[in-house]
């Protein structure tokens, strides 16, 4: 049995150990449940965990939950950023600490946490006064604390829900020049860059070639995120940009690239064909079989399809990269655990317990969401749907265990595929339930009715009542008054 998972702490020996003090008093009959992450898995578990049995603490560098289906809408002003977030501190009877998990000590049942905040006791030289850039908007924040400022957080049950990060697959220049779309901060950076490009393209002394480059919007990745962003961008351009910037009419170019022959490969073939026809009519160019080999500040290079010759150089003004996910550094660095050889995610047993390299489940250590893979070899899609179902199952399991049941006697996790939805622009969407066991007679739906279903479902899925009210309000404002183009 694995007894210890520990990562080296650079300055731990020089810094006295500190223990996180929960803002809520811990009852003697409660167990300490620590959740790492505030995404679809971590946030939902924190909401649903039985607070009468567990003292719940969430550890995350983000003090909010990002509602990812609405991030593309926030990039163009269809919704405001607050509509796509829920504060962790609004959860009742849940403590929160803003930081990164740095190491886990199973023998001592504790987590070492590095604050995602300026250090309380900066080194000589005033590191607390230093700043680092926060996105392309030019906003700045204090440099975060170092591993030497880590503190100790004890636990009885630990749930790892740190999720994954956007993958660049080692393509040179992507991390430096492309925008990802997985968090509300990244959506804000995209919005800033998009509106800035429109203003620069409106400068009187700019050349035609530079104007065309600034108005060339490239989206890499033909999955649901890339498709929805391209669709939102198209609607923004045709409904608002050309109205507010009449001198730019007809100049914006939106291109969607994917390594596969087409887009939305996880959808039914008839729906894929419908989406591609719709994009063609809208003027969104889809370029399949495109392998991006490098990215610079002003252009990307695409490998020739026949494999011979020089890469094609394509200029861009905005590049949004959505090619998939990869394990985050914390998961990659955890030693002694069984991990999927492809995704590097943690292997879990049917009760979502993390397994060591011998395949033995660890007592009281669980993993859910994108960073968890069933140890039976059946990989689950890295989607919000899977993470949410894992969180709901985890909450029920912990409730049974908290009341005295043996975890081996609790139900095993079974994922139920409820289908997929995607927005494709111009008041149109697609719903695909063809792979669902209970798909019924309307397994495939497309067009305006599917758009109503898409909006209705996600509006009701919003976590808090504040956003359940605000989201329809902002949709209505955008419909009648247009999207806001204020840049700040």
E strands, 322-478, are: 325-327, 346-348, 353-355, 361-367, 372-374, 420-425, 428-432, 444-447
**Average pLDDT, stretch 250-271?**
95
The domains of the chain are located at: 31-118+135-166+326-409, 179-323+419-481
pLDDT given at position 26: 52
In terms of Cα–Cα distance, which of 426, 459, 427, 420 is closest to 443?
Answer: 420
Whole-number Å distance between alpha carbons of 163 and 185 = 16
pLDDT given at position 306: 77
pLDDT, one tens digit per residue, over 167-202 is: 998 999 999 999 999 999 999 999 999 999 999 999
Report whether pLDDT(42) > 70.
yes
Q: Say which CATH topology domain 179-323+419-481 has.
A: FAD/NAD(P)-binding domain (3.50.50)
Whole-number Å distance between alpha carbons of 189 and 198 = 14
Report whether pLDDT(163) > 50.
yes
Report whether pLDDT(138) > 50.
no
For the 31-118+135-166+326-409 domain, the top CATH level (class) is alpha beta
Report whether pLDDT(6) > 50.
no
- Given strand 285-287, what is the order of strands in its sheet? 285-287, 253-257, 216-220, 318-321
**Residues 470, 74 contacting (CB under 8 angstroms):** no
pTM for the predicted model, two decimal places: 0.88
Phi, psi of 366 (to 5 degrees): -125, 160
pLDDT given at position 440: 53
pLDDT given at position 309: 82
Whole-number Å distance between alpha carbons of 267 and 436 = 12
Query: Among residues of the chain, what percentage have pLDDT more than 90?
Result: 75
Residues in the chain: 488
pLDDT given at position 28: 62
pLDDT, one tens digit per residue, over 70-89 is: 999 999 999 999 999 999 99
Q: How many CA atoms lie within 13 A of 383 on its CB side?
A: 18
Report whether pLDDT(471) > 50.
yes
Whole-number Å distance between alpha carbons of 270 and 277 = 11
Q: What is the 3-state secondary structure (H, E, C) of 181-237?
A: CCCHHHHHHHHHHHHHHHHHHCCCCCCHHHHHHHCEEEEECCCHHHHHHHHHHHHHH
Q: Tokens representing 316?
A: 């861009």
pLDDT given at position 462: 84
Q: Poorest-confidence range of 27-36, 125-134, 224-233?
A: 125-134
pLDDT given at position 335: 87
pLDDT given at position 145: 62
Average pLDDT, the chain: 88
**Average pLDDT, stretch 120-147?**
46
Task: Give whole-number Cα distances, 121 to 11, 16, 99, 141, 144, in Å.
Answer: 13, 12, 16, 17, 12
pLDDT, one tens digit per residue, over 402-459 is: 999 999 999 999 999 999 999 999 999 999 998 775 545 568 999 999 999 999 999 9
Residue with more model confidence, 66 or 139:
66
130, 96, 391, 366 alpha-carbon torsion, rounded to 10°: 80
pLDDT given at position 287: 96
**Average pLDDT, stretch 284-296?**
96
pLDDT given at position 454: 96
* pLDDT band for position 94 (cuts 50, 70, 90): very high
pLDDT given at position 96: 97
pLDDT given at position 2: 38
Task: Give whole-number Cα distances, 184 to 64, 157, 304, 369, in Å.
Answer: 10, 29, 35, 19
Report whether pLDDT(235) > 50.
yes
In degrees, to the nearest 5, what angle opens at C-alpha 451 toward C-alphas 446 and 456? Answer: 130
Cβ count within 10 A of residue 414: 8
Report whether pLDDT(99) > 90.
yes
Phi, psi of 206 (to 5 degrees): -80, 145
Report whether pLDDT(208) > 50.
yes
Report whether pLDDT(400) > 60.
yes
Does the fold of domain 179-323+419-481 match that of domain 31-118+135-166+326-409? yes
Question: What does 291-343 look like in DSSP terms, one character per residue?
Answer: -EEEE-SSEEEE--TTS-SPPEEEE-SEEEE---EEE-HHHHH--SB-B-TTT
pLDDT, one tens digit per residue, over 349-377 is: 999 999 999 999 999 999 999 999 999 88
Q: How many CA atoms lie within 13 A of 260 on its CB side?
A: 11
Question: What does 246-283 look like in DSSP terms, one character per residue?
Answer: GGGTTT-EEEEE-SSSSS-TTS-HHHHHHHHHHHHHHT
**CA 136 and chain centroid, separation:** 18
In terms of Cα–Cα distance, which of 236, 245, 185 is closest to 77?
Answer: 236
Whole-number Å distance between alpha carbons of 172 and 175 = 8
Phi, psi of 213 (to 5 degrees): -65, -45
């Amino acid at each position: 049995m694995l007894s210890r998972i520990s990562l080296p702490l650079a300055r731990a020996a020089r810094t006295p150990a500190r223990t996180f003090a929960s803002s809520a008093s811990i009852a003697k009959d409660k167990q300490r449940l620590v959740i790492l992450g505030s995404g679809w898995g971590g946030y939902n578990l924190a909401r649903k965990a039985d607070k009468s049995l567990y003292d719940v603490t969430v550890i995350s560098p983000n003090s909010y939950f990002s509602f990812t289906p609405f991030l593309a809408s926030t990039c163009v002003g269809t919704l405001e950023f607050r509509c796509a977030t829920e504060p962790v501190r609004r959860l009742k009877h849940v403590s929160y600490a803003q930081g990164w998990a740095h190491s886990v000590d199973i023998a001592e049942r504790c987590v070492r946490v590095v604050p995602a905040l300026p250090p309380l006791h900066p080194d000589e030289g005033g590191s607390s006064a230093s700043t680092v850039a926060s996105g392309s908007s030019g906003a700045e924040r204090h440099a975060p604390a170092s591993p030497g400022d880590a503190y100790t957080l004890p636990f009885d049950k630990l749930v790892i829900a740190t999720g994954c990060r956007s993958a660049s697959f080692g393509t040179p220049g992507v991390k430096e020049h492309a925008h990802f779309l997985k968090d509300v901060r990244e959506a804000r950076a995209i919005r800033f860059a998009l509106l800035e490009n429109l203003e620069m393209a409106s400068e009187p002394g700019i050349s035609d070639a530079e104007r065309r480059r600034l108005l060339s919007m490239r989206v890499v990745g033909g999955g649901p995120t890339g498709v929805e962003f391209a669709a939102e961008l198209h609607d923004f351009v045709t409904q608002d940009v050309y109205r507010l910037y009449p001198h730019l009419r007809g100049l914006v170019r939106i291109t969607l690239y994917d390594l596969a022959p087409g887009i939305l490969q996880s959808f039914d073939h008839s729906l894929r064909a419908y989406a591609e026809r719709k994009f063609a009519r809208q003027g969104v160019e889809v370029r399949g079989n495109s392998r991006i080999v490098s990215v610079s500040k002003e252009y990307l290079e695409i490998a020739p399809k026949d494999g011979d010759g020089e890469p094609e150089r394509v200029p861009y003004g905005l590049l949004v990269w959505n090619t998939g996910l990869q394990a985050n550094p914390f998961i990659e660095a955890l030693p002694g655990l069984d991990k999927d050889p492809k995704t590097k995610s943690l292997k879990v047993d049917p009760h979502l317990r993390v397994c060591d390299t011998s395949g033995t489940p660890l007592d009281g250590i669980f993993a859910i969401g994108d960073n968890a893979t069933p140890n039976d070899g059946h990989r689950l899609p890295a989607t919000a749907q899977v993470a949410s179902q894992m969180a709901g199952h985890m909450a029920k399991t912990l409730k049974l265990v908290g009341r005295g049941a043996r975890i081996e006697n609790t139900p095993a996790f079974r994922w139920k595929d409820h289908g997929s939805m995607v927005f494709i622009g111009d008041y149109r969407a697609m719903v695909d339930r063809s792979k669902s066991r209970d798909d019924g007679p309307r397994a495939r739906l497309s067009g305006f009715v599917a758009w109503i279903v898409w909006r209705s479902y996600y509006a009701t899925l919003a976590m808090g009542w504040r956003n359940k009210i605000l989201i329809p309000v902002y949709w209505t404002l955008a419909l009648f008054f247009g999207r806001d183009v204020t840049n700040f």
